[in-house]
Amino acid sequence: MLRVRCLRGGSRGAEAAHLIGAMVGRAVTGWVQKAFQSASSAAAAQPCPAAEEEHVTEPVQQECPVSAYNEWDPLEEVIVGRAENARVPPFTVEVKANTYDKYWPFYQKYGGQPFPEDHLKKAVAEIEEMCNILRLEGVTVRRPEPIDWSLEYKTPDFTSSGMYAAMPRDILMVVGNEIIEAPMAWRARFFEYRAYRPLIKEYFRKGAKWTTAPKPTMADELYDQDYPIRTVEDRHNLAAQGKFVTTEHEPCFDAADFIRAGRDLFVQRSQVTNYMGIEWMRRHLAPDYKIHIISFKDPNPMHIDATFNIIGPGLVLSNPDRPCRQIEMFKKAGWSVVNPPLPLIPDDHPLWMSSKWLSMNVLMLDEKRVMVDANETTIQKMFENLGIKTIKVSIRHANSLGGGFHCWTTDVRRRGTLQSYFH
């Protein structure tokens, strides 16, 4: 008996038909290798001769392990990042443009070295506890491979060492049954995908689509080497003028600059995501999905989910310190816009790669459950007033590495269907 896997994924089901046609039309010998031939080869395949002793049955339907269309459907499987072996990125122009000046001496001193050992141990313990709580909530947790990020690497265009595999949201985005690997924009993150490849290959073998966006060379031309940042006022002025450290030399984007709401995805042009990268995504996902570019009064735009976090159908958290310039568009569509309270994280707590607004960087387990920091009591109250149960976890030390719950995860499977929420 020949058993075949059926790919799942809305309007992309035609690809499954081509694949099944190729597999059914061949003898057992060599069928695995031939199953991955191109669609054109599949169409040209001829039935096996009647003399061959192969018995073919109806295809066996298998659920694709990858499926997510939005940020709030019931979460069934998630990738959680690792803090192990994390290292401070070298202090290059793109890192400088994405960090606050009070931490520049830290990068100048520790760039290319491990993060402070005691702090890192606490971050590792916090994320382990987060994983345990996710499992208790019925979510399957997967982890990237531990990798030695200290190794220096050299391409024809630059030399760097690595950083970490802590924030899968930055590099992986699931749209339907497709996993998209983002190209990234920091040289220290060029090879970050290697930590996730074993997982992605497993999902691919089980029926998921797998796309790797064009990898940028990250040559000097991708960055404005003279990007003039000295003060917060400089950053505000440059952002208002649409000037960023990344140029339009080649496509680049981090997946975390996109946020999903069914057939509509929202994205910002940021320090790590350029218009060429956005255009690549627009063409790649068309016509089933629509990409909307939105912008904010933000002096340092990098990753959308601590500025604009969609937590339910027609329900969005909008950072009051970084107002969305297109917010009326959402209100006219009937969405509810909620301004979260000010974060409670202390001023003396190190946030080497982010702002205090990680308080709103929450992970929805479904429409009525949210994972939120145990220390952020005011936003807990906000969620309770919205009728949403809070799952409290403390990840203060993990925050220091640049992310909250949304950043530290990529949802692999949410139980739901493709719908339109933005009209």
Which residues are marked as active site?
A: 254, 303, 407
How far out from the chain centre does Cα 211 lie?
A: 14
Q: How far apart are CA 158 and CA 170, in angstroms?
A: 22
Q: Are 307 and 242 in contact (CB under 8 A)?
A: no
Residue type at 159?
A: T
Nearest alpha-carbon partner for 322 in 300, 343, 344, 289: 300
Measured between alpha carbons, how far is residue 387 from residues 70, 73, 378, 404 in Å? 20, 16, 15, 22
Residue 413's SS3 state is strand
Structure tokens at 411: 């949802």
Measured between alpha carbons, how far is residue 396 from residues 103, 113, 356, 375, 422 in Å? 18, 21, 10, 8, 34
Measured between alpha carbons, how far is residue 356 from residues 350, 360, 361, 392, 399 in Å? 10, 9, 10, 17, 9
Q: Are 333 and 379 in contact (CB under 8 A)?
A: no
